[in-house]
Amino acid sequence: MFAAHENVKNSILEAIIDSAYEWIVVVDKEGIIQYMNRTYAEFLGENIHSVTGRHVCDVIENTRMHKVVESGVPEIADLQYIRGNYMIANRIPVKVDDEVIGAVGTVIFRDTGQWKKMNSHIKSLLHELEFYKKDWHEKNGAKYSLQDLEGRSEKMVHLKGQVKKAASSDLPVLISGESGTGKELIAHSIHQLSERSGKPFIKVNCGAIPETLFESELFGYEEGAFTGAKKGGKAGKFGLADGGTIFLDEIGDLPSHMQIKLLRVLQEKEIETIGSTVSRKVDVRIIAATNRPLQQMIVQRQFREDLYYRINVIPLNVPPLRDRKEDIPGLVAKLLDKITSRSGKRIIGVENDVMNWFLSHQWPGNIRELENVLEAASHFSPGEIILADFVPGISHERVTAVSGEKSLKEILQETEEKVLRDTLRDCSFDKKKAASLLGIGKTVLYEKIKKYNIQEV
């Protein structure tokens, strides 16, 4: 009689759960499904009896139930994409005597019609959000934040602290450091952390603008100011940056006559466009960067001393990579993520010999050189792990070492030639076998042999 009463209670409880508005799934500590209500199974196109005993990842796409079991941390109102729809999921770990023994997951919905309406609304809002995010990034100009600044060494922790302090003020900042150390990233981070983050971030590469165009680029011009001037005139970089930040990269390349004009902008906080007789007030924060010795340039009369002291109110020095080699493993992981997401090729790491070489190399081209080397190596590596044979600079047979001055194209060509020569040598110059190992056709192999003038020895 008691057993019959319990069976009735269980049947009623199961009927209630199956007819609930929420979809419910229960997993054990291994992530194996122990229970799923009927409405959830039907939505997934599964039989309610066949899902029991299967791993939750094999049944529910994008699930995190097994992750909640591992972490023991509940996840509430998380947006989950299932079978073309956005769902709102709750995942709660189940504990007995403080030990996680499983997890209960619920997916919230009302009825099919209401859910479709809600799902369409969410999709519309997400598309709208992406549009506004893209528009904001295009107008703002700053792409990087402090999170992109990789490094846990003492020097980098100190630098990050200085960046935060610099961001809280409105004073000019001068970032110095060797080429390829990440000075631009520092400038972006300062702007993103500052109260000007919602305003424009305008970059000016002082080494890339022809001297005759500097004034019009920085301050703009009025319509008819000179022959060829655009109708309606043109806003200069300072005008575009009003209210925000202007980043003067490679400021050591600024021509002498423009140094005087920049000094006036810093002193008077106003600009005068070419062809105009009226000055205009601007509210712009200056961040400058250089890899040149400005103090030595002052002695040589190549850079104005008064301008130097105006821009060097908050000095920041970015250490070269050779002085913070403990950051290299983290940088390698981060750069590989960036490279593989761009190329689509799966590379998960480097072998120990490669990492040892990375840690012993002096990196004259700093992070830019490291990225170029990794990009070349990932391009030629046949597997998921980068091997020493495919890393430019490691082989003793190579005559010239990779430097930060070399372009990615040069690095790729040098590595390609080395791989071709090594493969042909290992195959005793059997071209058919070499082409097969390299995964290219014989015609392509012959063209490359001719290109690099590789001869059988």
For 359-369, b/e burial (b = at least 16 CB within 10 A) is: eebebbbbbbb
3-state secondary structure the chain: CHHHHHHHHHHHHHHHHHCCCCEEEEEECCCEEEEECHHHHHHHCCCCCCCCCCEHHHCCCCCCHHHHHHHCCCEEEEEEEECCEEEEEEEEEEEECCEEEEEEEEEECCCHHHHHHHHHHHHHHHHHHHHHHHHHHHHHCCCCCHHHCCCCCHHHHHHHHHHHHHHCCCCCEEEECCCCCCHHHHHHHHHHHCCCCCCCEEEEECCCCCHHHHHHHHHEECCCCCCCCCCCCEECHHHHCCCCEEEEECHHHCCHHHHHHHHHHHHHCEECCECCCCCEECCCEEEEEECCCHHHHHHCCCCCHHHHHHHCCEEEECCCHHHCHHHHHHHHHHHHHHHHHHHCCCCCEECHHHHHHHHHCCCCCHHHHHHHHHHHHHHHCCCCEECHHHCCCCCCCCCCCCCCCCCHHHHHHHHHHHHHHHHHHHCCCCHHHHHHHHCCCHHHHHHHHHHCCCCCC
Question: For the chain, what is the mean pLDDT?
Answer: 83
In a domain, 139, yes or no: no
For residue range 349-381, list pLDDT tens digits in order. Answer: 899 989 989 998 889 889 999 998 998 888 888
Are both 289 and 426 inside the same structural domain?
Answer: no
Are both 82 and 202 inside the same structural domain?
Answer: no
Are both 300 and 340 inside the same structural domain?
Answer: no
Q: How high is the pLDDT of residue 401?
A: 42
For residue range 389-427, list pLDDT tens digits in order. Answer: 888 777 533 434 444 456 666 777 777 787 788 788 777
Q: How high is the pLDDT of residue 447?
A: 81
For residue range 432-448, list pLDDT tens digits in order. Answer: 877 777 767 777 788 88
User: Could you list the residue range(s) of the whole structural domain that residue 373 is in?
Assistant: 322-451
Of the three residues 259, 288, 318, the one that is the final residue of a domain is: 318
Identify the CATH number of the domain in which residue 171 sits: 3.40.50.300
In a domain, 91, yes or no: yes
Are both 300 and 326 inside the same structural domain?
Answer: no
In the chain, the number of structural domains is 3
Q: How high is the pLDDT of residue 236?
A: 86
Are both 400 and 292 inside the same structural domain?
Answer: no
In a domain, 339, yes or no: yes
Of the three residues 318, 349, 376, the one that is the final residue of a domain is: 318
CA–CA dist 287, 142 (Å, integer)? 13
Question: Which structure tokens are listed for 212?
Answer: 């005759």
Choose between 59 and 121: higher pLDDT: 59
CA–CA dist 311, 174 (Å, integer)? 6
In a domain, 90, yes or no: yes
Are both 311 and 332 inside the same structural domain?
Answer: no
Distance of CA 416 to the CA centre of its chain: 27
Are both 272 and 292 inside the same structural domain?
Answer: yes
For residue range 61-96, list pLDDT tens digits in order. Answer: 889 999 999 999 999 888 787 877 777 889 999 999
How many CA atoms are closer than 13 Å to the CA of 310, on its beta-carbon side?
19
Q: How high is the pLDDT of residue 23?
A: 85
In a domain, 332, yes or no: yes
Of the three residues 318, 340, 358, the one that is the final residue of a domain is: 318
Are both 22 and 46 inside the same structural domain?
Answer: yes
Are both 102 and 14 inside the same structural domain?
Answer: yes
In a domain, 127, yes or no: no
In a domain, 272, yes or no: yes
Are both 335 and 196 inside the same structural domain?
Answer: no
Does position 162 have pLDDT exceeding 90, yes or no?
yes
The pTM of the full predicted model, rounded to 2 decimals, is 0.59
The share of the chain scoring above pLDDT 90, in percent, equals 37
Identify the CATH number of the domain in which residue 63 sits: 3.30.450.20
Distance of CA 65 to the CA centre of its chain: 28
Are both 212 and 66 inside the same structural domain?
Answer: no
Contact 199, 245 (CB under 8 A): yes
In a domain, 128, yes or no: no
CA–CA dist 111, 172 (Å, integer)? 58
Identify the CATH number of the domain in which residue 389 sits: 1.10.8.60
Are both 173 and 310 inside the same structural domain?
Answer: yes
Q: How many residues does the chain have?
A: 457
